[in-house]
Structure 1
């Protein structure tokens, strides 16, 4: 039977162990969940199984793998070439494993196994034409092309809706049943409960076995909505798309100061396109977006500096939103310099303060992005947006890469931010538990159209549309497994 044997694995940078004396076994046909807080060493452990380490690190110990290893990174965009079509990229991988005459068949089969419907129509697309969930499934297909003995999945459900997560869980089960060992790095406890045969917890670079029930989290209670107020952001009949195809159809919404609106929907439903239109990052075809009484240009560069500060966007792929060459602290401080005209020293002090409140000490913030975990970069991206003192904060799946405690901390920070500033919050999310504890109102998209909207307490307890019920049922199934 295939498997992996790890003995005394240690990764050291200078005089500090990132992971220390780690030993465990992964058995073919079993799914092992590796859980822990952001920055605890999960990704470092997984990459060490591939023989990869951070710059300047020293790897010691023994790792024996019986066969090929497939790896799915936390941010799927990192594994996709932005200038190559999906079909071309997958075909290049397939040619390493099968004869030329079987390449197309292997590509389409891998897409099917990765829950990509109608794989043919994705082959001509570029990565930027896919939603985050679609990108994740394409990366899964890429990993499956080589029939790996070990599949390492780093936060595979990041940015995916409950229906897609349930499908992905089904695919992982099917892969494991074929004798493949799966190491699942995740904060998604629903996924752990649904899939894992065993659980390993990473704490301060050390690994110990655990029972998933001991780290489960309770569903929070929805907050009371704010008092009625004039909207700070209004959207009317917004239509937008890609390459002549509309993916948003006549979407209208309003958000008041201090209000929290959650936008739900399956991957590819148009949520991120909507958010990017509001932020001036995607030109819409028709409709209107207003900030208070001011119309907002569809194009970011045509918005005033005041408007740029008043509407801030936190990207789903936090790592891609930072330059890889400059310290994170400097990049966060730059917002206060450019949009609030603060002197550099004061801007850096403000940035360090905001980052510390989100659990990122200044010593960590002085590193380049490569030195921070995915969860730390998500919090840094939030701090960068907060320094602009926005009236509208748009957050695209910002809690998806965080563990339970960090996610709760981040939601608490957002609540305090609104209490102190009265800004409106628009959250793009698949995290139903987070929605229940954060949102005042919910808007549900399907195929670019609004199919349901209303108070969170009503929509999440008595959904009227089939899509909303499917999202909730999928989330509930994961929690009950």
Structure 2
């Protein structure tokens, strides 16, 4: 396949839902052996534009313009044609990998069926997605992987279909810096082999490292090509004088299966103080989310002690309504936490009604105000979850937790789907909560952002705390090998950065 072969041609693409214009006059090309990036804020039209390559669109959405994929007409001037390129020419990796994985099937079974259907090579796809191909891994179900690992499982499924065009929607979401750097080199290799890649991302470092051409979108329209926007200054909450110990975990161990089998956390000790932020970092699969779920009461297979104000904190189903209000959790993959049949603003307001006893009108007003503070307009929040972008829904999940007026707020990768502006809005609001005495637990893969937010940072590896200390010390004088590697891999904008492949992906534990 020639590197100059034009695989995708999009001209004057528009998408309208009722009176709302989702995409307006968007044009771009995808060439074999190259990466084209669509860049823009959450809700700018990136995903809508990309899905047009598959002829996909939501209920009530009308597509117009010209979309050709590998010489086949997908969308013409009168709308969608009969061309079916899904899984044959174009493969799409969604932003939330859970939606691409069958929770009831082992990943190896799915991969081998796809390989047979598309004459692909499951083993090669698994290696390209940086997953171990051993039998134990292939026998696991999607829920037995961390969020970042599920992202790679979904990528392996996509590559098994042997597409000519690969559409990646925020592929670095949930990945630690080491895996993110590996992803850069893997995607370069795929492009060098002749694949055409359409990258949708707000991660400007990732775009700089990969893209041959860029198209910047705003409010559904193209505002620039081949010029990336300057990132705004992020004002993180910063460090503060910690208050009294509020939430404590002592000798906390957790497993995935009964009787301690499949252990993922080992003898973890943590103290979170009022008005402070504890940062938790580590590789994908290191146990970060399991730790968060234990603290939130959602993971019941644990041993050790959890205390809230020196009182025992049981699992969620045994917590009082007040304990539920005081400890709130915003998890990584938020789409599954919303009811698709109800508007988002109603679901956000419901928290204040149920946990604080507010009247429906007062709760809705507070919900709309909080959502607006986070950049989600009232007209957007009044839609069902399927009509919001990943970043908008991520902020709505945060607003829902904030409406409980929690004293402990556990944030699991809450900015992974956000551009810099969205992240800045989140940081501003969390800074206010922290100043009022709320204790934050910030779980993230972006060590730089976690270090800017946190007063104390712990590094998890294989379910154990391997290093802990002030963020300035961890980022400038890291002692443990993993911390050193996370710091070294934090910046991927340099295309000459060497591949960091000495860590065997098989060493990654289950979540």
Q: Matched residue of 1:414: which SS?
A: helix
- Among residues 106, 110, 135, which one is paired with 2:125 in the alignment? 110
- Rounded Cα–Cα distance in structure 2 between residues aligned with 1:310 and 1:455: 26
Distance 1:250 1:13 in 2: 52
TM alignment of 1:32-431, pairs within 5 A? 32-66=36-70, 68-98=89-119, 106-211=121-226, 214-216=229-231, 225-243=239-257, 244-297=261-314, 299-419=315-435, 421-431=436-446
SS of corresponding position for 1:323? coil
May I ask how many residue pairs the two structures share in their alignment?
472
Once the two structures are TM-superposed, the CA of residue 15 in structure 1 deviates from its matched residue by 3.0
In structure 2, the CA distance between the partners of 1:87 and 1:29, relative to structure 1 (3 Å rule), is same
Deviation at 1:223, TM superposition (A): 5.9
Structure-1 separation of matches of 2:337 and 2:477: 37
Q: Deviations over 1:340-363 (max 9, x none)?
A: 111212111111111111111222
Moved more, 309-318 or 432-441: 432-441
Give the 3 Å change call, closer, same or farther, for CA 248–122 of structure 1 in structure 2. same
Structure 2 gap segments, 5+ residues each: 71-87, 497-511
Please give the secondary structure, in 2, of the residue aligned with 1:380. Answer: helix
Following TM superposition, where does structure 1 have runs of at least 4 consecutive aligned residues deviating by more than 6 angstroms? none
Q: Distance in 2 between matches of 1:4 and 1:223?
A: 44
Q: Structure 1 residue 433 and structure 2 residue 437: aligned?
A: no
Q: How many angstroms does 1:117 deviate by?
A: 2.1
Q: Counterparts of 1:231 and 1:462 in 2: how far apart (Å)?
A: 27
Choose which of 16, 26, 29 in structure 1 pairs with 2:30.
Answer: 26
Using the size of structure 1 for normalisation, the TM-score is 0.95
Contact kept in structure 2, 1:133 and 1:267, CA below 8 Å = yes
- What displacement does 1:119 show? 4.2
How big is the alpha-carbon RMSD for the aligned residues of Structure 1 and Structure 2?
1.6
Cα separation, 1, equivalents of 2:218 and 2:337: 28
Change (3 A) 1:222 1:384: closer
Match of 1:29, SS state, is coil
Could you say if the C-alpha distance between residues 359 and 222 of structure 1 is closer, same or farther in structure 2, counting changes exceeding 3 Å?
closer
Query: How far apart, CA to CA, are the structure 2 residues paired with 1:206 and 1:285?
Result: 50
Of stretches 16-25 and 462-471 in structure 1, the one that deviates more from structure 2 is 16-25
Relative distance call for 1:415 and 1:212 in structure 2 (3 A) is: farther
Q: How many angstroms apart in 2 are the aligned matches of 1:439 and 1:216?
A: 21
Q: 1:120 to 1:217 in 2, by over 3 A?
A: farther
Mean alpha-carbon deviation: is it higher for 234-243 or for 16-25? 16-25
Preserved CA contact (<8 Å) 1:238 1:284: no
In 2, are the aligned partners of 1:153 and 1:182 still within 8 Å (CA)?
Answer: yes
